[in-house]
A and B are shown apart, each in its own frame.
Chain A
Amino acid sequence: MKVSYYPGCDLYTKAKVLNESIKASFRAIDIELKELANWYCCGTTFTLARDNKMSLIAPLRILAKAQKENGAVLVPCSICYNTLKRANYIFENDPEALNIINEHLGESYDGNEKVVHPFEFIREHQDEFKKGVKKNLRDLKLGCYYGCYLLRPRAELQFDDPESPNIIEEFVSMMGATPVSFPMNVECCGSYLIINSPEAALEASYRILKNAREKGAEAIITSCPLCHYNLDNFQFKISAMHPEHKPIPVFYFSQIMAIAFDLPVQTWGLEYNKVLPTNLLKEHKLL
Chain B
Amino acid sequence: MKKLTKDYDFIARIQEISMQNIADCYQCGRCTAGCPFAEYMDEPPNRIIRYIQLGSKEDILKAQSPWFCAACLVCETRCPRGVDIPRIMEAVRTIHLRAKEQILDIDKIDKEILQDAHPLVLMSVLYKYSF
Interface string of A95-106 (1 = CB under 8 A from B): 000000000000
CB of A246 within 8 Å of the partner chain: no
Docked complex Cα distance between A45 and B120 (Å):
8
Would you call the interface of chain B mostly helix, strand, loop, or mixed? helix
> Which residues of A193-222 are within 8 A (CB) of B?
193-201, 204, 207
Chain-A contact segment, one of B42-50, B53-61, B84-92? B84-92
Let me know if B109 and A49 touch, CB within 8 A: no
Interface string of B20-47 (1 = CB under 8 A from A): 0000000000000000110010000000
CB of A229 within 8 Å of the partner chain: yes
Let me know if A148 and B17 touch, CB within 8 A: no
CB of A79 within 8 Å of the partner chain: yes
CB of B63 within 8 Å of the partner chain: no
Q: How far is the CB of B49 from chain A (nearest CB, A)?
A: 15
Measured between beta carbons, the chain B residues less than 8 angstroms from A225 are 118, 120
Measured between beta carbons, the chain A residues less than 8 angstroms from B89 are 48
Which one of A55, A186, A188, A193 has the greatest number of beta carbons of chain B within 10 Å? A193
Let me know if A188 and B36 touch, CB within 8 A: yes
Docked complex Cα distance between A50 and B73 (Å):
16
Chain A residue nearest to B17 (CB atoms) is: A49
Let me know if A200 and B40 touch, CB within 8 A: yes
Q: How far is the CB of A132 from chain B (nearest CB, A)?
A: 30
Measured between beta carbons, the chain A residues less than 8 angstroms from B116 are 233
Q: How far is the CB of A56 from chain B (nearest CB, A)?
A: 14
Let me know if B128 and A162 touch, CB within 8 A: no
Contact partner of B94 among A49, A197, A200, CB < 8 A?
Answer: A49
CB of B113 within 8 Å of the partner chain: yes
Which one of B77, B113, B120 has the greatest number of beta carbons of chain A within 10 Å? B120
Let me know if B125 and A196 touch, CB within 8 A: yes
Let me know if A10 and B104 touch, CB within 8 A: no
> Which residues of A42-86 are within 8 A (CB) of B?
44-45, 47-52, 55, 79
Measured between beta carbons, the chain B residues less than 8 angstroms from A44 are 120, 123-124, 127
Measured between beta carbons, the chain A residues less than 8 angstroms from B12 are none
Let me know if B91 and A204 touch, CB within 8 A: no
Measured between beta carbons, the chain B residues less than 8 angstroms from A190 are 36, 70
Chain B residue nearest to A82 (CB atoms) is: B73
Interface string of B87-131 (1 = CB under 8 A from A): 101110010000000011000011001101111111111011100
Known: A45-B71, A163-B77, A200-B68. 7 other contacts (CB 8 A): A47-B127, A49-B90, A50-B16, A152-B76, A162-B77, A190-B70, A195-B125
Mark B residues whose CB is within 8 Å of A.
Answer: 16-19, 36-37, 40, 67-68, 70-74, 76-78, 84, 86-87, 89-91, 94, 103-104, 109-110, 113-114, 116-125, 127-129
